[in-house]
Amino acid sequence: MSAVDVAPATAPRARRALRWRPGERTGYAMASPAVIALAAITAYPLLWNLWTSFHDVDPLTGGTGQFVGLSNYRAVFSSQTGLLAALMHTLIYMVVSVTVEMALGLGIALLLNRPMRGRALCRTLILLPWAVPTVVSALVWQTLFDPQGGGVNYMLSMLHLPGSHTVWIGATASATWASILVADAWQSTPFVALMLLAGLQAIPRELYEAARVDGASAWQTFRGVTLPNLRPALMVTLVFRTLQAFLIFDIIYALTQGGPGTSTQTISYMTYYNFIVSDNFGVGAAISIVMVIVCLLIAGVYRVLLRPST
Amino acid sequence: MAANFRAARRVRRAHWFKARLALIGALSAVAVAACGSSSSSSATSKSASASAAAKPVSGQVPASAKQTIVFAVQGGAGASASFGGEGEFTEKEIVSFEKAHPNITVKPITISGSSVEVARSQVQNYFLAGDSTPDVIDSDQTWVAPWARAGWIAPLDQAFGARRSQWFPAAVAAGTYNHHLYALSWYYNAEGLYYNTSLVHAAPTTPQQVVAEAHAALQADPSLKAGFAFDGYKDEGLVTLLTTVLGHPIDVAHLDNPATLKALQYIHDLVYKYGVTPKAVVDWQLPATQPLFTNGQAAMLLDWPYVYQIAESKGSKVIGKTAYIPFPSVSGVPAAAVGGDMLTVNAHTKHMAAVIEFLQWLETPANQTARAIFSGDPPSLLSAYTPALFKAAPYFRQEVHVFKVAVARPVNPNYEQITADLQNMISSVLANQQSPAQALQSTAQQVAPLASSS
Amino acid sequence: MTAAGIAGRAQTAGWRPARVAARLRRSWPSWLLILVTLLFTAPFLWVFTHSLESSAEWAQNKTVLWPHAPTLANYRAVLFKDGFLTNVANSVIVAAATTAATLVFGSLAGYALARLPMRGKSAILGFILLAGFFPLTAMIGPLFKVMSRLGLLDTLTAVSISDLIYTLPLATWLLASLFAQLPEEIEEAAMVDGCTRLGALRRVVAPLAAPALATAAVLSFILAWSDFTFSLSFLQDESHFTAPLAMLQLGQTKFYTYYNLTDATVVITALPIVVLVLVMQRRIVSGLTGGAVK
């Protein structure tokens, strides 16, 4: 992203204040279709959600439509409504899944970076899960985790591995979270691997050569050459993955419905719950606004943490 | 120099300001347009709910005029590789209706056929936008009370009130809210107990006998996957399960009562004390349980009528060995939770007269009998159970006994939230996260305030 | 192959056990890669084998690795009896339209962000990126109302417009980064010759950035193809459904799920993407390498 903040100001400050910078108006004009398109799609929903979050809107009970100040927002952070728990679940899941997927993705990217035969085929096959629609993925994993004769238990028993009689979904919270993580990682790790692979391939060979000449070990090369140069790719991937993990919904809806009980409810699931199940639009809107703010915070944190050091 | 500088800055700010203003103006126009219509629709809905016997909206199209009515059907109308004839028969019914009424065209639109929650939200999008279509909606019975209170569906007392006694009583009860008839039962379902007569030798008459028979079956045939199977996945099926085991409607206002505790404890014990149901039950949705029974892998199954047809068809391993009775509930009465689809009418429809003709067509005994023979949907009209039907599909004889003792789920406008809380409760009990007593206590507090609103 | 590598290979040549063992030790990354690839592909294989299972065999409720009587009947049923072919065509139309719009809007915006001095550049880019992370459930109700008012319900146009939410953020960001990598002199030369910015973009930059545009196009197509939420909310007639939406309708009712039919639709829905990725995978990686992650 730093590549974009170019365009140095060449004129001294006083003169710059007098007129548009050359090309500035063209710039706005060129950027406007994209901005307007996105704004048109999101503006009304965003405004509607903002307005609704401050009012008691419940179409099925008629709601009062009255201004209720921050009470919807307080509900978001209250343990009584289960929303705070959902928020906690989501944040924990976010940390765990991002860590797992980044580590796995980096490993796969390093593997794919080595020249070997059939690399292109492997690259394609590994990328496929990401390219498949999420609903497809959720459906596939639903059949795979089926306790009687689903693929996972079948394979475990064929390979004589433990756990082939586990009821993956709906029996215990931990097994259910594990199945969510597996389904999510299957779909998202390829994306991480792809981005990191691209980053790895951007590192000039000469740096590796220089390290080898200096007698650096594999680990030292990794720390000294690979990681620092991978920083931009890491940051981009981290931001995307973290936000996506925060927003996870499709898999939970398709596999667990937030169960057993309420143990796998995430904040996105609660948005669905409030809008579509309990028709409490006020709270649903408040949750959405909170989620937007959290996304902004996460993006901001990453921006600060991973700013290039030079 | 400084003055020029300030003047220039004002000019620049003016440009900026104008640009921003234009953008905000454009967005606001969109917002106001949509907001304006939304506030008018919510105003209409409020006034509609104030007078429960609301009249049809103005601008009604007369019955004889040429018109199109829109019919939202779960799963769509038309032949499909998987829907087993339901959609196909709906299409047939539409075609025959259009032939008899050449001036009316019925346009089916498809809402989700696999998920009741998704279908509901799809239809609600139209209501929230204030649309006058779809005119007729193939609805789940749990949608009736919420929509009636919101004023989104029209009361049907005038056209159909006199015919009330022609349907199963539970079907009429499920379609009645605030003493008005808001939904007609289209086809009927009740959740009864199937058992494999070669494994279970006598019809169980108490819940303990159910357990005993399931136990005995498991001893006799260790390859069985379940003595007693049911769908324990976290969805509406859990609430029908509780209703069936309980034997009377769930008392939402006083959930924490001895009878409900007994029912919930029984469900818990099936898995954790008696061991006649495997733990995997928590991941069994309806599609998973039916093959268990028809392949002879479960001795008993709590399920809906559609299984009977499959059990008596080619490929089933239990042909001629299936029995279907009401469940002997913990309250001592045989019971079955009521289900099935209902027909509701959009309160803003402009085609009320044509809609009523269409509903009358769908609610003729001849059509309902034909539907039952073609696709297995049990009729909700009592007079549709004719000798011809029993000849074509003998298992309906057993099914009628189950239908007669059907128990409705709570008819409450807050039903969506109530059922979500109930599902959380039963799901956590089945997963042994909480004891039945604990779960009941905490859930009772959650649902009590929701119980009293009409 | 470095000199050390060649020397190492020579040392492990031959078939003596010690040499074979040494070869296995050296090639462990290949084995690991094969294992990883298998793990990621396994679910697809499972789905594929079960899509060849006949309904009769499926009803027997037994798990098999390979059906006893594999058949293409499911594909025939789904494509021709259920009209899934139409649904796939609809998906192609929507994804293509969204991709076209994304490429135009995205390259315009990306170029502006990369080249032109604008105040609030970060804000603009930030807005574009974050628009893609707004919770979808919160958007459906309001958007439905708008589409209904505009008479766009049950049209592919409504879905295509809404899909820009998925594609524009990623494409704009990608193109902005890639445009910034291109040398400025070429455009400057074109402008000295009398081109406007837009003309320079069209005539000079775009051809150079073709690989970047191809990458953006492929990613946009994949994202638009995957849409489910908007299709579910806006489309009413089964013949208008897109493939992911139709997939959930076919083979599933409240009471039973014919997984063999659904698996056939999964394979069909994934197929165009598979082909696309296969053909373009090198492009995707090099496009991302080109500058997005530098």
Residues B84-97: tens digit of each pLDDT: 678 889 999 999 99
What does each C-alpha distance from A151 to A139, B221, C178 come to in angstroms? 13, 26, 42
Give tens-digit pLDDT for A189-198: 998 998 888 8
CB contact under 8 A, B424 and A169: no
Q: If DSSP states are collapsed to H, E and C, what string results for chain A? A: CHHHCCCCCCCCHHHHCCCCCCCHHHHHHHHHHHHHHHHHHHHHHHHHHHHHHCECCCCCCCCCCCECCCHHHHHHCCCCCCHHHHHHHHHHHHHHHHHHHHHHHHHHHHHHHCCCCCHHHHHHHHHHHHHCCHHHHHHHHHHHCCCCCCHHHHHHHHCCCCCCCCCCCCCCHHHHHHHHHHHHHHHHHHHHHHHHHHHHHCCCHHHHHHHHHCCCCHHHHHHHHHHHHHHHHHHHHHHHHHHHHHCCCHHHHHHCCCCCCCCCCCHHHHHHHHHHHCCCHHHHHHHHHHHHHHHHHHHHHHHHHCCCCC
Given B391, B407, B423, which residue is the final one in a domain? B407
pLDDT band at residue B80 under the 50/70/90 scheme: low
Contacting residues for C91 by C-beta, under 8 A, at least 6 apart: C225, C242, C243, C244, C269, C272
Question: A288 and C138: CB-CB below 8 Å?
Answer: yes
Tens of pLDDT, residue by residue over C6-25, are: 555 566 666 777 777 777 77
Q: What is the pLDDT of residues B351-396, one digit of tens each?
A: 999 999 999 999 999 999 999 998 888 999 999 999 999 999 888 9
Write the Ramachandran bin of C50: left for phi over 0, alpha for psi from -120 to 50, otherwise beta: alpha
More confident call, B149 vs A148: B149
Rounded distance, CA A152 to CA A140, Å? Answer: 11
- Name residue B137's beta-bridge partners: B72, B344
Q: How many CA atoms lie within 13 A of B366 on its CB side?
A: 4
Q: What is the rounded radius of gyration, in angstroms, for the C-alpha atoms of chain B?
A: 26
Neighbours of B339 (CB within 10 A): 26
B333 and B376 within one domain: no
What is the biggest distance separating any 2 CA atoms in chain A, rounded to whole angstroms?
77
Angle at A178 between CA C61 and CA A149, to 5 degrees: 10
Residue in B34, B116, B295 nearest the CB of C142: B34
Instruction: Report, as an integer, the average pLDDT of C141-163.
Output: 91
Look up the ipTM and state it: 0.79
Residues B98 and B246 in one domain: no
Strands B180-181 and B176-177: antiparallel
Report chain B residues whose CB lies below 8 A from the CB of C78: 81
Record: contact A247-C135, CB cut-off 8 A: yes
Closest residue of chain A to B147, computed from CA coordinates: A60
pLDDT at B128: 86
* Chosen from A24, A60, A135, A265 to mutate, greatest number of chain B CBs within 10 A: A60
B110 plus B249 within the same structural domain: no
- Subunits in contact with chain B (3 or more CB pairs closer than 8 Å): A, C
Contact A231, A308 (CB under 8 A): yes
Pick from C63, C114, C286: CB nearest A154: C63
Interface test with B, best of A148, A168, A169, A256 (most B CBs within 10 A): A148
Cα A192–Cα A195–Cα A196 angle in degrees, nearest 5: 85
List the single residue in C108, C263, C273 with the smallest CB-CB distance to A31: C108
Q: Exposure pattern of A213-248 as b/e (b: 16+ CB <10 Å)?
A: eeebeeeebeeebbeebbebbbbbbbbbbbbbbbbb
Same domain, B141 and B249: no
pLDDT in tens, A274-306: 888 778 888 889 999 999 888 888 888 877 876
Flag whether B8 is in a domain: no
Residues 157-216 of C with CB under 8 A from B: none
Q: Residue A125: its chain C contacts at CB < 8 A?
A: 37, 40-41
Report if residue B208 sits inside a domain.
yes
Domain count, chain B: 2
Which of A65-79, B60-74, C267-281 is the most confident on average?
Answer: B60-74
Judging contacts by C-beta atoms under 8 Å, the chain C residues touching residue A165 are: none
Whether B166 is in a domain gets the answer yes
Tell me what pLDDT residue B241 has: 96
Q: Are B317 and B445 in a shared domain?
A: yes
Assess whether the previous peptide bond of B102 is cis (omega < 30° from 0).
no
How far, rounded to the nearest angstrom, does the alpha carbon of residue B64 sit from its chain's CA centroid? Answer: 33
Q: How far apart are CA B414 and CA B393, in angstroms?
A: 38
B49, pLDDT greater than 50:
no
Identify the helix (H) or strand (E) that includes residue C1. none
Mean pLDDT of B433-453: 89
- pLDDT for residue A81: 75
Query: How much is the pLDDT for A2?
Result: 43
- Cα–Cα distance, B239 to B191 (Å, whole number): 11
| Mean confidence (pLDDT) of chain C | 83
Report CB contact under 8 Å: B31, A258: no
Task: Write the DSSP assignment of C161-217 as a string of letters.
Answer: HHHHHHHHHHHHHHHHHHHHHS-HHHHHHHHHTT--HHHHIIIIIHHHTHHHHHHHH
Domain match, B139 and B218 both:
no
In a shared domain, residues B306 and B399: no
Distance (Å) from the alpha carbon of B257 to chain C's nearest alpha carbon: 32
pLDDT mean over B161-176: 92
Q: Are residues B300 and B418 in the same domain?
A: yes
Count residue pairs from B and C with Cβ separation < 8 A: 102
* Token pair in block for residue C182: 């291109």
Is a pLDDT exceeding 80 seen at residue B31? no
Do B392 and B273 lie in one domain? The reply is no
pLDDT in tens, C77-112: 888 877 899 999 999 999 999 999 999 999 889 888
C48 touches chain B (CB under 8 A): no
| Domain match, B101 and B233 both | no
Q: Which of A44, C165, A57 is nearest to B33 (CA)?
A: A44
List the domains of chain C with CATH numbers: 82-292 (1.10.3720.10)
| Lowest-confidence pick of A55-59, B33-37, C189-193, C256-260 | B33-37
Closest CA to B428 of A265, A211, A230: A265
Low-confidence residues of chain A: pLDDT under 50: 1-16, 309-310
**Residue B35 pLDDT grade (very low, low, confident, very high; cuts 50, 70, 90):** very low
Report if residue B218 sits inside a domain.
yes
**B198-215 confidence digits (pLDDT tens):** 999 899 999 999 999 999
Q: Average of pLDDT values for C269-290?
A: 77
**CA–CA separation, A104 and A110 (whole Å):** 10
| Residue B60: inside a domain | no
Least confident of A305-309, B41-45, C286-290: B41-45
Q: Distance from B93 to chain C by nearest Cα, in Å?
A: 18
CATH of domain A48-305: 1.10.3720.10
Joined tokens for residue B69: 């009515």
- Residue B51 has what pLDDT? 40
Give me C90's structure tokens: 């609809």
Confidence of residue B348 (pLDDT cuts 50, 70, 90): very high
In angstroms, how far is CA B348 from the centroid of its own chain? 22
Judging contacts by C-beta atoms under 8 Å, the chain C residues touching residue B78 are 238
The answer to whether C195 touches C177, Cβ cutoff 8 Å, is no
Q: Which residue range(s) make up the domain with B350?
A: 67-188+339-407
At which residue do the structure tokens 């995430």 appear? A266
For residue B116, which residues of chain C lie inside 8 Å, CB to CB? 254
Please classify residue C89 by burial: count the beta carbons closer than 10 Å to its beta carbon, then call 0-12 exposed, 13-18 middle and 19+ buried: middle
Domain contains B54: no
Q: Is B29 inside any structural domain?
A: no
For C56, name the nearest residue in chain B, comparing CA atoms only: B315
Separation CA A111–CA A93 (nearest Å):
27
Average pLDDT for chain B: 85
Least Cα distance to B92 among B389, B344, B366, B308 occurs for B366
Report the CATH number at residue B441. Answer: 3.40.190.10
Distances (CA, A) of C187 to A137, C197, C199, C204: 44, 8, 10, 7
Residues of chain B contacting residue C140, judged by C-beta atoms under 8 Å apart: 125
Q: Does B422 lie in the same domain as B387?
A: no
**Would you say residue B43 lies in a domain?**
no
Name every chain B residue with its beta carbon within 8 A of the beta carbon of C257.
114, 285, 287
Taking the Cβ of residue B451 and every Cβ of chain C, the question of whether any pair is shorter than 8 Å is answered with no
Minimal CA separation from B97 to chain A, in Å? 33
**Over residues B242-254, mean pLDDT:** 94
CB count, 10 Å around CB of B439? 23
Confidence at C250, pLDDT banded by 50, 70, 90: confident
- Mean per-residue pLDDT for B437-444? 94
The pTM of this model reads 0.81
Query: Taking Cα atoms as reference points, which of C164, B421, C2, B389 lies closest to residue A42?
Result: C164
**Res B26: pLDDT:** 40
Element (H, E) at C267: helix C259-287
Closest residue to A23, CB basis, from C117, C119, C143: C117
Q: What is the pLDDT of residue C190?
A: 77
B285 and B229 in one domain? Answer: yes
pLDDT grade for C3, boundaries at 50, 70 and 90 = low
